[in-house]
Amino acid sequence: MTTLRFDGLSFSYGSGGLGRGPRTRVFEDFSWEVPAGRTVLLGPNGAGKTTLLGLGASALMPATGDVRLGAISSSSRRERAAFRRAVGWMPQQVRPIAGLTCREQVAYAGWLKGLDRRAAWEAAGEALERVDLAAEAGRRTSQLSGGQQRRVGLAQALVHKADVLLLDEPTAGLDPNQRARFRDVLREISRDVPVLVSTHQVDDLTDLFDTVVVMDHGHLPFSGTPDAFMALAPAGSAHPAEAAYGTLVAGD
Amino acid sequence: MVTLRTSLRVMPAFWFALPIILLAGGYGTALYPSDHYGLGATAMGTGALPFIAGFTAATAAWEGARLRRAVWWSPAVRSQLEVAGWAVLPSVLVGVLALLVAVAVLLVRSGATVPDLTLIAVGVLDLVAWAAVGFAAGILLPVPVAVPVGILLPFVWLAFVPAMYPVWLRHLTGMFRDCCGLNEALAPAAVVASVLVDIGVIVAAAVLVAGWRSMRQRGGSGRARAIPIVASGLVLVLTLRVGVGLVSGMTYAPVVTRDQAQLTCRERAGLTLCLWPEHAPEADALAAVASDVRSRWLAAGIDAPAIFTEAARSVAPAGSLAFGVSGTAPDDVIRALAEAMTPPYPVCIDPRTGTQMGTTGAGAMTWLQAWYAAAGGMSPGRLFEDYGYEQGMPGTTLDPLPTVDALWKVSPEARRAWAAHAAALVATCEEVELDLTVRP
């Protein structure tokens, strides 16, 4: 199975406005290899989770270092198309494309990822089936609920049959029923490819993920199995996952 | 979009295709192109560009805005150029179709069959440039700003700039509606300048959008994001500067004299008549009227040249009569020949302001033309229609026709003397009394 690897990454954001303020450094010489299976990335706001997934998808480009999928480099102009074809990314905000139905939006995402129009249309139908949204294929994305729109986002990440999936806060803003449904979908899609999920939700970690990674200020203070993560919680904790998390990261 | 059906359903370029095409066709019916001259008709058709380009840019802005929120910043496998190209293709295609309709209507009305392909290519490039501008606006600005910018910017550039001084500014716009009479060809410098500006606009838009995206991907600050703005501005300034260098000093019309080798000359009753190929089908009719006019002029004591040519006055052979005619109705031809017999208005500069000024002697022009038209055999009805009750000529009678009647009653020598006096009045920059009394 192909692995996604971050090699010596540096990345910072400029300040807004006229850019007179200092840059905000997110990563400095950051290296990490995404484990096989389902990996959850936990961390406080501003820890760098979204930036890491953006770099992994090559939506963002590092100042130094490289992101590689197997032998394919995202920094190489020549290899970037192949890299992007191999990575599925669901951004934090899934935005409806004005006027398009679910299937059209997913098919358009497939076309952007290099599928021809006919193949994209077929693949969009399959992707919507996988996220249990086939019944809504003909509805405009903008008319769907928040949970359904996030599943459209997931279908967009799946449509081109990527070798690795990066999902940024896929359950943010969903109610408990929608989250449960989303987890079922996630189990189904992660059978074949490694999945890295960034989230604030720490429930069901042991049930759903193979690896737990905690990120804080561009560093990874913890990476291990869910059981090892839970073991960090003080004995007798009412909410062991939150307690374990609290031992690694100061409050948000 | 992914399917044609989707595109037809959601893209404003298709929604507004029919109105813009009808508008372009209507525009074509409102103008009067030169007889059979494909170049002139095509050039006139480019006059529809201000509103067609507005449509193209505004709909492209809409598509840019559609992609901006949802997909533009995503890591696509396809290039930005390909994504943008497909997004604006309907806007460009409908715009080109509208331009072709305007040109086709003018071609039909002019009786020409072949459009000028260079001008159409320039028009297409112009629309591509405006699509690029609109798309860039859609990517970088909120849609309530981007779409109005898309409508207004082309209109300002294509409708207001041609109305500004210096007059040659208009040749940078790609709109050539002041080209061309039959004896004129499109000035290559104007074509090159407008193509250069179009390419500059396309490159500037691409630099802006691609540079902005690249800065954003690298977490660029506000200051770093100014780099693509400055770079695209430099591209624009540079191409405009070169374009200005090419057209500065030209008159309002983007024309040069047409190649004289295209004239075909024939002889009839002592008259050599040289016509452009577009008038070949009417050569017999024109020759008949022209030789009749010349005979009448000679009989009236007017020194009529032996060569009538459609060449521009500036390049016509010495002693020939350079005329331009639209239509073959005898009265139209007579009027064209009468106008050709009068001297051109002088270019007079007001010493106080340094600008061009009108002259009092110019009022003699109508009198002179009326005489040549009457002497050439113009029908009384048309003579009255064209020259009767001339208005607003201070210091003289308001009607040239009594003067024409008086000229018939005097000797040929007196007529020649009167015509020479009137021609001198027309040609002078001095302030003169417009005395056109006929003296025996």
Each of the 440 residues of chain B gets a pLDDT tens digit; together they read 678 889 999 999 999 999 999 999 999 898 877 778 889 899 999 999 999 999 999 999 999 999 987 777 789 999 999 999 999 999 999 999 999 999 999 999 888 888 999 999 999 999 999 999 999 999 999 889 999 999 999 989 988 888 888 889 999 998 888 888 888 899 999 999 999 999 999 999 999 999 888 888 888 766 677 888 899 999 999 999 999 999 998 888 899 999 989 999 988 878 899 998 888 888 888 899 999 999 999 999 998 899 999 998 888 888 899 998 877 789 999 999 999 999 888 888 888 887 777 787 888 888 899 999 999 999 999 988 888 765 555 445 567 888 888 999 999 999 999 999 999 988 888 887 878 888 87
CA-closest candidate to residue B140, choices B236, B68, B227: B68
- Mutation target vs A (from B10, B14, B74, B223; most A CBs, 10 A cutoff): B74
In whole angstroms, give the CA distance from residue B107 to residue B42: 7
In whole angstroms, give the CA distance from residue B239 to residue B195: 10
Chain B CB contacts of A14 under 8 Å are 219-224
Residue A225 sits in a domain of what CATH number? 3.40.50.300
The distance of Cα B310 from the centroid of its chain, to the nearest Å, equals 19
Q: Answer yes or no: are the C-beta atoms of B125 and B195 closer than 8 Å.
A: yes
Contacts 24+ apart (CB under 8 A), B419-426: B419/B302, B419/B368, B419/B371, B422/B364, B422/B367, B422/B368, B422/B371, B423/B342, B423/B343, B423/B364, B423/B368, B424/B361, B425/B361, B425/B363, B425/B364, B426/B342, B426/B343, B426/B345, B426/B346, B426/B361, B426/B362, B426/B364, B426/B365, B426/B368
CA distances from B212 to A175, B229, B396 (A): 37, 8, 69
B77·A17 Cβ contact <8 A: no
Chain A CB contacts of B3 under 8 Å are 104, 107, 117, 121
Question: What angle separates helix B80-110 from helix B38-45, to the nearest 10 degrees?
Answer: 130
In whole angstroms, give the CA distance from residue B140 to residue B150: 12
Question: What angle separates helix B380-387 from helix B330-341, to the nearest 10 degrees?
Answer: 50
Q: Answer yes or no: are the C-beta atoms of B212 and B87 closer than 8 Å.
A: no
- What is the signed CA dihedral for A192, A198, A204, A208, rounded to 10 degrees? 10
A107·B2 Cβ contact <8 A: yes
Give the max Cα distance, chain B: 92
Q: Residue B390: what pLDDT?
A: 59
Residues in chain A, pLDDT under 50 = 252
In a domain, A142, yes or no: yes
Interfacial B residues in 106-165 facing A (CB < 8 Å): none
In a domain, A119, yes or no: yes
Please state the φ and ψ torsions of residue A195, each to the nearest 5 degrees: -130, 130
In whole angstroms, give the CA distance from residue B432 to residue A118: 80
CA distances from B125 to A229, B56, B246 (A): 62, 12, 19
Intra-chain end-to-end CA distance of chain A, in Å:
35
CA distances from B335 to B293, B366, B373 (A): 10, 11, 6
Q: Answer yes or no: are the C-beta atoms of B308 and B323 closer than 8 Å.
A: yes
Query: In the numeric block, which tokens belong to residue B269?
Result: 């009753």
Chain A CB contacts of B1 under 8 Å are 100, 104, 108
Which among B70, B220, B224 has CB closest to A97? B70
B77·A112 Cβ contact <8 A: yes
Q: Answer yes or no: are the C-beta atoms of B63 and B95 closer than 8 Å.
A: no
The number of residues making up chain B comes to 440
If DSSP codes are grouped into helix, strand and coil, which group holds residue A37?
A: coil
In whole angstroms, give the CA distance from residue B28 to residue B294: 36
Sign of the CA dihedral running A214, A215, A216, A219? positive
* Cβ-based burial of B253 (10 A; exposed 0-12, middle 13-18, buried ≥19): buried
Domain assignment of residue A118, given as a range: 26-248
B221·A23 Cβ contact <8 A: yes
Compute the nearest-CA separation of B12 from chain A (Å): 11
CB pairs < 8 Å spanning A and B: 100
In whole angstroms, give the CA distance from residue B312 to residue B323: 8
In whole angstroms, give the CA distance from residue B173 to residue B46: 10
Contacts 24+ apart (CB under 8 A), A185-190: A185/A130, A185/A131, A185/A132, A185/A151, A185/A154, A186/A38, A188/A130, A189/A130, A189/A131, A189/A154, A189/A158, A189/A165, A190/A37, A190/A38, A190/A165
Compute the nearest-CA separation of B139 from chain A (Å): 14
Instruction: Convert B351-368 to b/e letters by CB count within 10 Å (16 or more is b).
Output: eeeeeeeebbbbbbbbbb
If DSSP codes are grouped into helix, strand and coil, which group holds residue A242?
A: helix
- Mutation target vs B (from A60, A102, A168; most B CBs, 10 A cutoff): A60
Q: Does an H or E element contain A7, and which?
A: strand A4-13
ipTM above 0.95, yes or no: no
In whole angstroms, give the CA distance from residue B306 to residue B273: 9
Tokens 């904790």 correspond to: A237
Peptide bond into B166 cis (omega under 30): yes
The number of residues making up chain A comes to 252
Compute the nearest-CA separation of A194 from chain B (Å): 19
Task: Please name the amino acid found at residue B426.
Answer: V
Q: Any idea what the Cα angle at residue A206 is, between residues A203 and A209, rounded to 5°? A: 95
Chain B CB contacts of A97 under 8 Å are 66-67, 69-71
Which among A59, A104, A112 has CB closest to B78? A112
Query: In the numeric block, which tokens belong to residue B411?
Result: 């000797």
Query: In the numeric block, which tokens belong to residue B375?
Result: 């002497």
Chain A CB contacts of B67 under 8 Å are 97
Number of domains in chain A: 1
Q: Answer yes or no: are the C-beta atoms of A4 and A12 closer than 8 Å.
A: no
CA distances from B91 to B62, B104, B130 (A): 10, 20, 10
B221·A57 Cβ contact <8 A: no
B223·A121 Cβ contact <8 A: no
